Amino acid sequence: MENSARLYAELPRAVSRGQITAHYQPQFDVDSGEIVAVETLARWTHPKFGAVAPSLFIPLAEDLGLIDELGDHMIGLGCDAARDWQRRGRAIEVAVNVSALQLADPDFARRLLRAVEQHQLSPRLLTIEVTESAEIIDVSVVAERLDWLRSVGVTISVDDFGTGHSSVEQVLDLRATELKIDQSLVRDESAAARTLLAAVVTFAHDKGLRVVAEGVETESQLMRVRELRCDRAQGYLLGHPVEKTEIDRMLQAHDR
Ligand code: C2E
Ligand code: MG
Ligand code: MG
């Protein structure tokens, strides 16, 4: 069987058996330099092919009608981590990626809040990053569901801002409370990109949104992100996506 056909055939079992795991990538407060949050990223290690990229298997899961199951599993893994840190007295926020298809499910918000409740977490510790793998069909309906989540304290983040998919329009339509600037914009050191980025940060702060810069790979990018008054930074320079135990170690090292 061709490799992609094999992945297609094997993903349902990987999902139903909980073989999709999570890596967590730290997010740092730009001013204090402390870890304040992590992003939960799905990982599938295939016995034969090794690590399969989420950019490959998330669309497959959507196609196979498995995204709700996989998404709920990821929300569970995010909540597990947040609860463990909460028990140790650390309020680390956890972001989970949610595709437009998941938001289309009328039951999504209720299941999310049930998971938060079951984990005895404050909804304030949870962020959903809306990723644009498919068109949001009915923005007003989705926005209403997001209103409910936001009203109880969940952060609504628009992921990959600055790419073709995410726009000011989407931020306003979804009444987002966080904006995640895509790595392509963070990396672009041209004067035009800098002007654009400055305008985006001003717009976001005027609207009371938090700004996270993603894909920070160099000291000069970090400096620029700081100068532009982004609130949080995430990227390989500061920390790769890693197993939870590795984040535990980073938190402990910081405490010492
Ligand atoms: P994303 O949500 O924008 O996540 C950021 C991606 O950039 C991650 O790739 C991360 O590993 C990578 N990254 C982080 N820092 C850097 C950096 O400094 N340089 C570079 N070059 N890359 C960096 P990953 O883990 O391969 O995930 C790709 C995409 O797959 C995610 O993009 C997200 O859209 C989607 N995804 C991942 N996990 C899930 C999930 O559980 N559910 C859904 N619906 N989508 C997911
Ligand atoms: Mg994301
Ligand atoms: Mg992104």
Position 164 scores a pLDDT of 72
pLDDT digits (tens, 9 = 90+) for 76-105: 999 999 999 999 999 999 999 999 889 989
For ligand 1, whether the C-beta of 155 sits within 6 Å is no
Q: How far is the CA of 217 from the centre of ligand 1 (A)?
A: 14
For ligand 1, whether the C-beta of 166 sits within 6 Å is no
For ligand 1, whether the C-beta of 231 sits within 6 Å is no
Q: Whose CA is nearest to atom 7 of ligand 1?
A: 215
Spatial CA neighbour of 114 closest among 86, 152, 87, 142: 152
Q: How far is the CA of 115 from the centre of ligand 3 (A)?
A: 24
* Measured distance CA(39)–CA(41) in Å, rounded: 6
Q: How far is the CA of 127 from the centre of ligand 2 (A)?
A: 10
pLDDT digits (tens, 9 = 90+) for 195-243: 999 999 999 999 999 999 999 999 999 999 999 999 999 999 999 999 9
**Ligand closest to the CA atom of residue 186:** 1
Q: Whose CA is nearest to atom 43 of ligand 1?
A: 97
Which residues fall within 8 angstroms of residue 166, CB to CB, at 6 or more apart? 132, 158, 159, 160, 182
Near ion ligand 2, which residues have CB within 5 Å? Answer: 97, 129, 159
For ligand 1, whether the C-beta of 68 sits within 6 Å is no
Q: Whose CA is nearest to atom 34 of ligand 1?
A: 131
Residue 71 near residue 103 (C-beta atoms within 8 A): no
Q: Whose CA is nearest to atom 10 of ligand 1?
A: 241
pLDDT digits (tens, 9 = 90+) for 99-152: 988 998 999 999 999 999 999 999 999 999 998 655 666 788 888 889 999 999
**Ligand closest to the CA atom of residue 70:** 1
Q: How many CB atoms lie within 10 A of CB 141?
A: 13
Mean pLDDT (whole number) for 151-176 = 88
Position 148 scores a pLDDT of 94
Query: How much of the chain, in percent, has pLDDT values that exceed 90?
Result: 80
User: Around 24, how many Cα atoms within 13 Å sit in the side-chain half-sphere?
Assistant: 29
Position 171 scores a pLDDT of 87
Position 134 scores a pLDDT of 53
Domains belonging to the chain, first-starting first, are 2-255 (3.20.20.450)
Exposed, middle or buried, 191 (CB in 10 Å: 0-12/13-18/19+)? exposed
For ligand 1, whether the C-beta of 49 sits within 6 Å is no
